[in-house]
Structure 1
Amino acid sequence: MIEIVPVRGHELVTYADELAALLVDTVDGGSSVGFLAPLDREVAADWWRERAGAVDAGRLQVWIARDAERVAGTIALDRARLPNARHRAEVAKLMVRPSARGRGVGRSLLDAAERSAAGAGVTLLVLDTESGSPAERLYRSAGWTECGSIPDYAGDPAGVLRPTTLYYKAIGTAQALPGR
């Protein structure tokens, strides 16, 4: 049984080694999540630990999917900070351990992030993913709208530049932002 739970800053530090293993496995598996292979596990753990402050400040939310043994997946929601963008957030770092794929873990993580964003008054979510990646099927089936692609946007784990597809999802009724 997989449980999806939000993670606070100090918990992110506690889970950093497990999340690092997930990140390394994801990069080694060829997924483009911002890192090049080979990714050192301690560098990956430090990357997660460095996000604890943003989690505690409310700028970043992180969820993990865990089973009885370990972290099976993760997702993050990065809130926009500029005054004219506080209605939106970016979904980032959706990763699922290969042994947990095909069991609805990615969809459950995505649903958790979407519910939390809607509950916080966010009305627009955005994300990007490597064009042609298996993640695109998940996003489309979850009601996300493709809005274009950018050639040579980011390097895959081998450093080869690949196109990225941008997606958005309206999750609430957009309203004007409060004036000054």
Structure 2
Amino acid sequence: MTVTSNAPKIISLDADGLTYRIEQFGEMLHACVHDGASIGFIEPFVMEEAVAFWRDRIVPALRGGKRSLFVALDDDRVVGTVQLDYDTMPNQRHRGDISKLMVRPDCRRRGIARILMMAAEDRARELGRSLLTLDTRTGDSAETLYASLGFVRAGVIPEYARDPFSEKLSATTVMFKHLSV
């Protein structure tokens, strides 16, 4: 993939870096949920809940050293993120989980999700992880993205998660990718 000069900068943040930018992360999460992203939250979803997610769940996970957080910055504005969770049981030290890939709705279709995923894969390789897993709402554009990155569909779980705007239950597609380390 060719990355143009106007591509956002991808960096890894620790707990302090996330705390410094926590309002921007909250704004991005809030915007994504209000745009219909199935990333664990439902309406009504207020900004305080978005900030609390990062503060109460992700900051401690980063402090624990078992998760990596990647962020796409466009002129110092948080426009995308993905996490690599490698807090696995002893018999699963060869794998990691991709979670919470999101790109601000006004910044989509620029390849940001793809370069974030590449950063997470590179980190997994550095850690000696040879298998990545993830799940995504069945039929979402993210499913196509993951397939284009080499993720393979393992199966579909029906009625897995509630739609952000209604009582409808959506299926999730579980995917995996083998990495060369």
Q: Are 1:26 and 2:32 matched, yes or no?
A: yes
- Select which of 63, 66, 70 maps to 2:70: 63
Q: Are 1:166 and 2:171 matched, yes or no?
A: no
Q: When the two structures are superposed, what TM-score results if normalisation uses the length of structure 2? A: 0.92
Instruction: Choose 136-145 or 51-60, whichever is displaced more.
Output: 51-60
1:53 to partner: Cα distance:
2.1
Counterpart contact for 2:24–2:78, Cα < 8 Å: yes
Equivalent residue for 2:99? 92
CA distance in 1, matches of 2:44, 2:180: 40
SS where residue 75 of structure 1 aligns?
Answer: strand
Instruction: Choose 45-54 or 117-126, whichever is displaced more.
Output: 45-54
**Residues 41-92 of structure 1: CA deviation (Å, up to 9, x unaligned):** 1111111012212112211111110110511100001113211111111100
Q: Are 1:72 and 2:79 matched, yes or no?
A: yes
Q: Are 1:127 and 2:127 matched, yes or no?
A: no
Counterpart contact for 1:28–1:38, Cα < 8 Å: no
Query: For residue 37 of structure 1, what is the amino acid of its counterpart?
Result: E
**Residues 85-140 of structure 1: CA deviation (Å, up to 9, x unaligned):** 11111100000011211111000000000000011101100000000001011101
Q: CA RMSD in A?
A: 1.1
1:172 to partner: Cα distance:
2.5
Q: When the two structures are superposed, what TM-score results if normalisation uses the length of structure 1? A: 0.92
Unaligned runs of at least 5 residues, structure 1: 174-180
Unaligned runs of at least 5 residues, structure 2: 1-5
SS where residue 6 of structure 1 aligns?
Answer: strand
Counterpart contact for 2:67–2:87, Cα < 8 Å: no
SS where residue 80 of structure 1 aligns?
Answer: coil
